[in-house]
Structure 1
Amino acid sequence: MSDLQERFQRWADELVDLTARNDLINFKFTKTSTILPAPKGLSKLLNGDTVAITDLCDLTDPDQIKPVKGAIKMAIEFKEQRGIEVLKLASGFATWKTDKISKANAPLFLYSIELENEGGALINTKLRLVDTEPEINPVLILHLQRRMAVGIKDECLEDLEDPTEEKLWELFEAQCPADLEVQRLDGNAIKNLKYPNLPMVADLQNATESLEENTLIAALAGDADSKDALREDISDARQDAPNFIPPKQEFLVLDADSSQQWAINSALQGQNLIIEGPPGTGKSQTIANLIASYIAVGKSVLFVADKRAAINAVKKRIDSVGLGDCFFDVHSSEAVRKRPTEPFVSALKEIKSVPDRDFSAQQLELEEIRQKLVDRSAAIQTKQEPWNCSYIEVLNLAMEAGHEPSQGFDLGTSCLDAITLDQIRCTEKCLAELISLAAQDLLSSRSPLAKAIRNGQLQTPQSIRSALEAVDKLKGAQRSIKDWLQEVEAKARLRGEEVLIQSLIKSSQSLTTSMSSAKTWNSLLLTLASFLPLLSSGA
């Protein structure tokens, strides 16, 4: 046996407990979960009838009602969460000579039980067998094969026509060696007995060559060469693929963000992957989109989950977009057993009723809208001159500036002496329009800030933030600025065009009483001062 085959066998052993802890090897009659059926009701049940729980046990007896409640509650939970019937009728028990466990007492024949009136009043609960043909305990067979090295052939038991308990016992006993001293004991019990992993065990035991040839399975088993091969087998799916994939080649039926689309496109290109995320992050939605995409390109999808709730979450989304006819739920055992062809007939009818429509106009419109969004995204992320900043970066700087402490500015005499009436007017106009000006407007010859910008006086992020703060403050005091300029202008006309520094100071002092507070006036002077050095430089 190769290393990989040994690893596969260990996997198989880990899937099923073959020790005495398993009720299917060492059955335990418990007071809280084992129902001992009354003979009359048991006979009806084995005959294929639907039997009331009151025909199987006395619900007025505290010792009987307790295991009934426990067993039925657990059976309902497993059905809802995993979609499997775990409530079994055990008919007959087998014992054998062994030193592997202290007491061998395994259920011999098993029948799956379905419940009616699940979740209703206990007294109204009814039971019936899924199939009246007995199944010999598969875990017992596996235990004897793996732990006792008994060469029992499963095929002989599975291929038996019209199997009965007697016929199965004869075949089983004939394949057991005499020194095993296997014996059949009478007895019946109803209990939750679970062995959902047995099909996987059979696959691991019977398909080792196929598993070895599968690179992914071999890598999971620890094969070094397969691991190296997987590392090199990386999909070249691009993260920006949604920006240019033709709409007629994209089959998403639910909303998907860029990360989800990347995962879907990678899977469609054959990439092995794992999608992780906490609850509510769109895993089920991504799976539904992936299933729809595979269906659209003519592929079949096997979707499995450990719990029924996960299957329901995806199935609900598939149904909501009108693809329910493409989904075959193998867990709906009752519907499949009673009407096995109905799901297929219904699906074919649904497919025939789908109209053949032309979506070329909508696809063209979608492509145009998408291109606008792509162009807009590129524009706001592209760095612009002269500051080498993108629109997004400027927004980030502006938001960061809001949390920084305000900075003061000193008004130098040389700056104030250089102010003229025309410069004041130009500054007012610039401040009023600055928020809507683009870079090319600021750099034009008519801009009072052009020279200062070109000389690098607003080159650093700190300078930009200071300018933005100045504009922000001046915008709120625009009315006060206009009143002030009107008064200054009137005095300037009387005394000449040049505005003296003493006049500015006196005018500012006389206007403070009309401001809401001294703080507003100081803010006005400080923000105006941030532009005065630029004006004094001759910009």
Structure 2
Amino acid sequence: MPHQTRPASSIGDPNLGRLKAVLDDWRNSLLDMGGRNRLLNFRHTRTSTLEITSPGVGALLAELAKGWEFAPLLPSESEGDRAGIANGRTRPGLVTQKTTQASLDSALYQLRQKSGQMYNDYGLWVLWLGVGMLDWCEAEAHESSAAPLVLVPVELRRDSHRRYRLHLADDQERIHNPALAVKLERLGVDWSPVTGTDVGDLPAVLAAARSVAVGLKGWSVREQVVLGLFASHREAMYQDLQQNEDQILVHPLVRAAALGPDAGLPDDLIGFEPPDLDRIDEVQLPEKTPLVLDADASQRQCIAAVLDNRSFVMSGPPGTGKSQTITNMIAALMHAGRSVLFVSEKAAALDVVRNRLRGVGLGDFVMALHSGDTSKKAVATELARVLTTEARVTGAAAHELERARRLREELSAYAAAMNQPREPLQRTLHDVLGRLVLLEQAGTPNLPLRAENAKAVRGLSAGALLDIAAASQAVSRSWRPAAEGEAFPWRGLVGTDAHQVVSEAADALDALVTAGGHRPFAATQDQPRSVREVQQMVRTLRAGLPSEAVPADNGLPDDVSVQLAQLADLFGMPKPDGADAAFALCELADLAAADHRPPHGWFVAENLRRAYEAAQELRQALEAETAAREAAADVFGEQVLGKAELPGLVARFAGQHRDAGPLLRPVQGGPRVCASAHPHRRLGQVSARSPGSGPGLVHRRCRGDAAGRRPHGTPRSIHPADHARAG
């Protein structure tokens, strides 16, 4: 049984006052009773209003159905000249307050464009002639306002010469200023003599307005005609809500929207659960549902809720079939004998649904009540046409409906079989076929199934398949590193998640930056900018630290500059600005605490200077010794330093054998010394320095053995290359 919406009773309702207050707020939110409302406070603008100064009100309205042209403007033409020219014509044009043709054309263009756009988008007529002007003011107000009395619908057309013409709008009616009636009612002014007068009788309307204004201070009525954009639809909605307040207050949907959980409505009146998508065919048999357009399961949910008299909100992005669903809803309710009012803010949505209904043969059951179809004449004409038209009943035969039922059941059974999980893998046929298509699109080669593997495949379970898939994924993850080798960017990465490792590396880098901020001497030395500089800093610190392990009872503070500054003050030294200076200061502190400290005289300036000089002389002597050793290393061995003849030999060469002559005489002990100094060399290979070059031996070549004997068969003379003869 369809759900019935029960009206709520307002008798003894404790929330009635609150409900009326909410409804009053809704009504007031529709109106703008301030100075921005052009219907209450008319002011000229540059492009949205025109004041028609000629012809007069009576002549203008009498000839408006034929259309009026606008009088052309000449560059040097004044308003009086234009009025004179207009009076000289048999059919004068409309004269406005504009002084140039460009400003007039611009205003007419803007009025025509904006009014046409509002009509096409929202179905609202906003281009009106404001006829008759009431100058009114509130009590104790310093300025008065002007409001038109009557609104006459007009339209701007362009002829073949692209000139604008003002015509009476078709299918639109004159109306009293609705905003003015509401405003004066709030001010306590009885405006009923004006609203009760026929709007077509302009002299009577002006007379009634003057009769009301004569008793009010500062109020007056003028015969003035203005052309502008006036939006009067909100006032009509306001009047509708006010006149039908009692019916609105007892409606359950209004109470639910106004009071929310405090509405006191039954739970099943608003809230309901739509039928499941899988059971929609059971709840609503398709062959018995009067659908005129295609509908899926979700759209049929909405249609079923409508037929059950449920109230709900249907939402969806553009292109999801909302207009199509609304068309099916209206058709289903028409089939159930219901009347439907379809309301939309924009006229385009109404036209879409109306065209869909006409497309399925239901156009005669639709009446448009927006735009130009709302006049009394248009409504009466449409009703007469529909009532005199014979409606033809069309539909499928009984055998066609039965065949459609069988096909639906077969299709539903096929869909259920496709989506039923099957043993042993607990997969549906739909999933398996979709997976095969993906493998084919990926170019996966077909693997032949051998006979020995057929038994294993038949016994494959869902758990075993998951294990195989996990192993395959592991192999696939290892395939690329193995194929790319050293070129793989993550080669050497430990772990299974590269992003986790990168995150850990980022954390380590942040920790390193933090540690760099707490490094020693941060105030005097720049922060290291590369890994190389960090390593150099670590090596410097490590070189100055003691090599043996030190028990760490208390950790060092992050910054030791304070302690080092105090220690430097004790020694009377400057504060250290680097690791080297700090380590030197620490060594000095260790030396001060040692058991064998240096004598006090070491720290006297004169003694320190003499120590530096002695150290310099010692350094020079060591350098001379090192140079002599290197010069004699090619001839002498280390054994020569232990020979007793060495001091005498050195003394003779330094004293009596300073010239070249004595060097040619036999030297006693010389051959023996040479032989013993280097047993693996012959005596003739002894090297010495020339006279004048310092202590040493002259370079000679003695062709004899260690005993001074010459080899057998050799002459006694010395080789000319020795530059001497043997004596």
TM-score surpassing 0.5?
yes
1:449–1:263 CA distance, 2 compared to 1 (3 A): same
String of CA shifts for 1:2-28, please: whole Å, max 9, x gaps: 122111111111112110011111101
**Match of 2:228, as an amino acid?**
K
**Aligned pair partner of 2:397 in 359, 370, 389:** 359
Residue 329 of structure 1 deviates from its aligned partner by 1.0
2:410 is the alignment partner of 1:372: yes
Residue 225 of structure 1 deviates from its aligned partner by 2.6
Which secondary structure does the structure 2 equivalent of 1:37 belong to? strand
Q: 1:291-440 residue pairs with structure 2 within 5 A? A: 291-331=330-370, 333=372, 336-338=375-377, 340-352=379-391, 354-355=392-393, 359-395=397-433, 427-428=449-450
* Alpha-carbon separation, structure 2, partners of 1:119 and 1:268: 52
**Whose RCO is larger (CA < 8 A, sep 6+)?**
1
* Alpha-carbon separation, structure 2, partners of 1:131 and 1:182: 34
1:187–1:399 CA distance, 2 compared to 1 (3 A): same
- Give aligned-pair identity as a percent: 22
1:395–1:134 CA distance, 2 compared to 1 (3 A): closer
**Aligned pair partner of 1:8 in 6, 23, 42:** 23
More helix by share: 1
Q: Does the 8 Å CA contact 1:91/1:107 hold for their aligned counterparts?
A: no
**Aligned pair partner of 1:31 in 46, 49, 63:** 46
Q: Does the 8 Å CA contact 1:57/1:64 hold for their aligned counterparts?
A: no
1:133–1:289 CA distance, 2 compared to 1 (3 A): closer
Residue 127 of structure 1 deviates from its aligned partner by 0.8
Which secondary structure does the structure 1 equivalent of 2:130 belong to? strand
In structure 2, what is the equivalent of residue 499 of structure 1? none
* Alpha-carbon separation, structure 2, partners of 1:347 and 1:339: 12
* Alpha-carbon separation, structure 1, partners of 2:361 and 2:54: 50
String of CA shifts for 1:59-113, please: whole Å, max 9, x gaps: 9722322211111111111221122221111112112232697644233322332
Which secondary structure does the structure 1 equivalent of 2:413 belong to? helix
1:350–1:170 CA distance, 2 compared to 1 (3 A): same
* Alpha-carbon separation, structure 2, partners of 1:256 and 1:10: 40
* Alpha-carbon separation, structure 2, partners of 1:130 and 1:230: 50
String of CA shifts for 1:420-446, please: whole Å, max 9, x gaps: xxxx9xx55x7xxxxxxxxxxxxxxxx
Aligned pair count reads: 429
Which secondary structure does the structure 1 equivalent of 2:147 belong to? strand
Which secondary structure does the structure 2 equivalent of 1:7 belong to? helix
The structure number with the bigger radius of gyration is 2
1:218–1:108 CA distance, 2 compared to 1 (3 A): same
Residue 139 of structure 1 deviates from its aligned partner by 0.4
1:462–1:360 CA distance, 2 compared to 1 (3 A): farther
Give the TM-score, by structure 2 length: 0.52
1:145–1:138 CA distance, 2 compared to 1 (3 A): same
* Alpha-carbon separation, structure 2, partners of 1:66 and 1:357: 57
In structure 2, what is the equivalent of residue 249 of structure 1? 288
In structure 2, what is the equivalent of residue 461 of structure 1? 466
Q: Does the 8 Å CA contact 2:112/2:156 hold for their aligned counterparts?
A: no
Which secondary structure does the structure 1 equivalent of 2:125 belong to? coil
1:100–1:257 CA distance, 2 compared to 1 (3 A): farther
* Alpha-carbon separation, structure 2, partners of 1:254 and 1:465: 48
* Alpha-carbon separation, structure 1, partners of 2:27 and 2:36: 17
In structure 2, what is the equivalent of residue 264 of structure 1? 303
Which secondary structure does the structure 2 equivalent of 1:394 belong to? helix
**Aligned pair partner of 2:126 in 86, 93, 97:** 86
Q: 1:489-500 residue pairs with structure 2 within 5 A? A: none
2:254 is the alignment partner of 1:217: yes
* Alpha-carbon separation, structure 1, partners of 2:344 and 2:172: 29
In structure 2, what is the equivalent of residue 449 of structure 1? 454
1:275–1:50 CA distance, 2 compared to 1 (3 A): farther
**Match of 2:66, as an amino acid?**
T
**Match of 2:466, as an amino acid?**
P
**Match of 1:287, as an amino acid?**
I
**Aligned pair partner of 1:77 in 111, 117, 120:** 117
2:335 is the alignment partner of 1:290: no
* Alpha-carbon separation, structure 2, partners of 1:175 and 1:196: 26
Residue 301 of structure 1 deviates from its aligned partner by 0.9
String of CA shifts for 1:258-311, please: whole Å, max 9, x gaps: 211212221221222222222222121111111111111111111111111111
Which secondary structure does the structure 1 equivalent of 2:163 belong to? helix
Q: Does the 8 Å CA contact 2:171/2:378 hold for their aligned counterparts?
A: no
2:154 is the alignment partner of 1:138: no
Which secondary structure does the structure 1 equivalent of 2:259 belong to? coil
String of CA shifts for 1:489-531, please: whole Å, max 9, x gaps: xxxxxxxxxxxxxxxxxxxxxxxxxxxxxxxxxxxxxxxxxxx
* Alpha-carbon separation, structure 2, partners of 1:400 and 1:95: 79
Q: Does the 8 Å CA contact 1:381/1:392 hold for their aligned counterparts?
A: yes
Q: Does the 8 Å CA contact 1:250/1:293 hold for their aligned counterparts?
A: yes
* Alpha-carbon separation, structure 2, partners of 1:451 and 1:3: 76
2:150 is the alignment partner of 1:110: yes
Q: Does the 8 Å CA contact 1:235/1:270 hold for their aligned counterparts?
A: no
* Alpha-carbon separation, structure 2, partners of 1:90 and 1:275: 42
Residue 209 of structure 1 deviates from its aligned partner by 2.9
Residue 316 of structure 1 deviates from its aligned partner by 1.5
Q: Does the 8 Å CA contact 2:111/2:229 hold for their aligned counterparts?
A: yes
String of CA shifts for 1:125-146, please: whole Å, max 9, x gaps: 4411569986331101212223
* Alpha-carbon separation, structure 1, partners of 2:469 and 2:317: 41
Residue 340 of structure 1 deviates from its aligned partner by 4.3
**Match of 1:323, as an amino acid?**
L
Q: Does the 8 Å CA contact 2:184/2:191 hold for their aligned counterparts?
A: no
Q: Does the 8 Å CA contact 2:52/2:226 hold for their aligned counterparts?
A: yes
Q: Does the 8 Å CA contact 1:51/1:127 hold for their aligned counterparts?
A: yes
1:307–1:103 CA distance, 2 compared to 1 (3 A): farther
2:80 is the alignment partner of 1:64: no
**Match of 1:461, as an amino acid?**
L
1:355–1:13 CA distance, 2 compared to 1 (3 A): closer
String of CA shifts for 1:132-183, please: whole Å, max 9, x gaps: 986331101212223x3x15365x5544457633433454565679456432
**Aligned pair partner of 2:67 in 48, 51, 58:** 51
What is the root-mean-square deviation in Å for CA atoms of aligned residues?
A: 3.8
Q: Does the 8 Å CA contact 1:288/1:317 hold for their aligned counterparts?
A: yes
Unaligned 5+ residue runs, structure 2?
Answer: 1-15, 71-92, 473-727
Q: Does the 8 Å CA contact 2:419/2:428 hold for their aligned counterparts?
A: yes
1:104–1:373 CA distance, 2 compared to 1 (3 A): farther
* Alpha-carbon separation, structure 1, partners of 2:51 and 2:383: 41
